[in-house]
Copies of this chain bind each other. A is one copy, B any other.
Amino acid sequence: MPPAPLRLGLAGLGTVGTGVVQILQNHAALIAARAGRPVVITAVSARSKGKDRGVDLSGFAWEDDPVALAKRDDIDVFVEVMGGHEGAARAATEAAIAAGKDVVTANKALLAHYGQDLALAAEAAGRVIRFEAAVAGGIPVIKALTEGLAGNQIKRVMGVMNGSCNYILTRMQNEGLSYEAVFDAAQKLGYLEADPNLDVGGIDAGHKLSLLAAIAFGTKVSFDAVELEGIGAISIDDIRLAADMGYRIKLLGVAQMTGRGLEQRMTPCLVPADSPLGQLQGGTNMVVLEGDSVGQIVMRGAGAGMGPTASAVMGDVIDIARGFRLPTFGIPATALATPTPAKAATPAPYYLRMTLVDKPGALAKIATCLGEAGVSIDQMRQYGHEGTNAPVLIVTHKATRDDIDHAVGLFAATGVLVGAPVALRIEEV
């Protein structure tokens, strides 16, 4: 008797869903050989039934309601590529688990907010939730971290995981354009979410980081504890000055377990220009995994788009077809620890840029504040005056974010500052 096919219910027929349909139609035999059984779509659901998506949907049952799709008796796996962390996506995913289906999802926001509850429900029901497509698009990083590096105590996870932000920052760098100019261009090209703050505010990338951190450190997903800072305050001046010193500015996610707790940051950082992260151009993603045995593993690839995201979905589907089953975050959800959030506990050098009023002693006052906060200066550069104000660049020795914030707080009382200073961490990569 030939093995029974694995039957998918596909919720969402946007770019990713259409990509999944295409792969299954183009590579049915190849996938059956690899999966050990045929993989078929039984039923689909999307907002608009009539829309031409360039793929033949005639063989699939149609459901207007993804919750109804999730409960169908003729599906084994609910594939959720609708997006949105409330409403239909959440309800349908919960319904799928309740109905005894495995789940494959590309929904980072859903898992960042409700991952723990969903994992508990799935594991209680003996079901799996797989989400390779939710983090770094086509890069099989969830698999590398959860499975390939499972013999390691993970020391640090880093990543550039929002292609739109990296596109903006590298165009600013390469073309000398302002943030505003590239932001507008990116929006016109459709590179940004309807709410662009999801991208440039670091929220989307923060969702992804919180999922990696849960796996890496065996802790409950704690998106609310991610220190989030977007790229909106990065000026072309910062890009240029950083480049002068041999750095690039990236929206960099870093998660590590420290003596004070779990540090999770998604913030603009300086990284060496000649490092793999520094060299990353355009919309490409990169994730760096550091384990106590394996050392540093760097993975690079497309972080979004039809093909890459659908590839990640299919990797999860084929794993399920092969019978691979493991807890959502690598260890049972009941065993995940509640992390203590640690705000940028690891000391690092910081880049500080500020503008001072052109008065004698202004710089001395700033230096005094730094000294009071326990922050020592590695380099200081004062640039030619623009009118009456003096741009100043300081690179500190290693300091904690608290000390830097303390110093910046002291600056305010000196009355020598024009505007707010920029403080960016220099990450050792």
Contacts and interface: CB of A to CB of B under 8 A. Distances in A.
A187 to B, nearest CB: 24
A354 to B, nearest CB: 34
Contacts of A27: 151-153
A140 B144 contact: yes
Contacts of A87: none
A244 B317 CA distance: 48
A33 B139 CA distance: 25
A276 B151 CA distance: 27
Given A296-B301, A301-B298, A33 B143 contact: no
Interface string A129-160: 00010000011100110011111110000000
B150 A143 contact: no
Contacts of A132: 148
A338 interface: no
A303 B301 CA distance: 20
Contacts of A312: 148, 294
Contacts of A331: 33-34
Interface stretch (A171-179, A197-205, A319-327, A404-412): A319-327
A300 B279 CA distance: 14
B308 A138 contact: no
A31 interface: yes
B308 A295 contact: yes
Given A30-B218, A151-B310, 13 more contacts: A31-B150, A31-B151, A33-B331, A138-B294, A140-B149, A143-B143, A147-B318, A147-B319, A149-B315, A151-B311, A293-B307, A295-B305, A322-B326
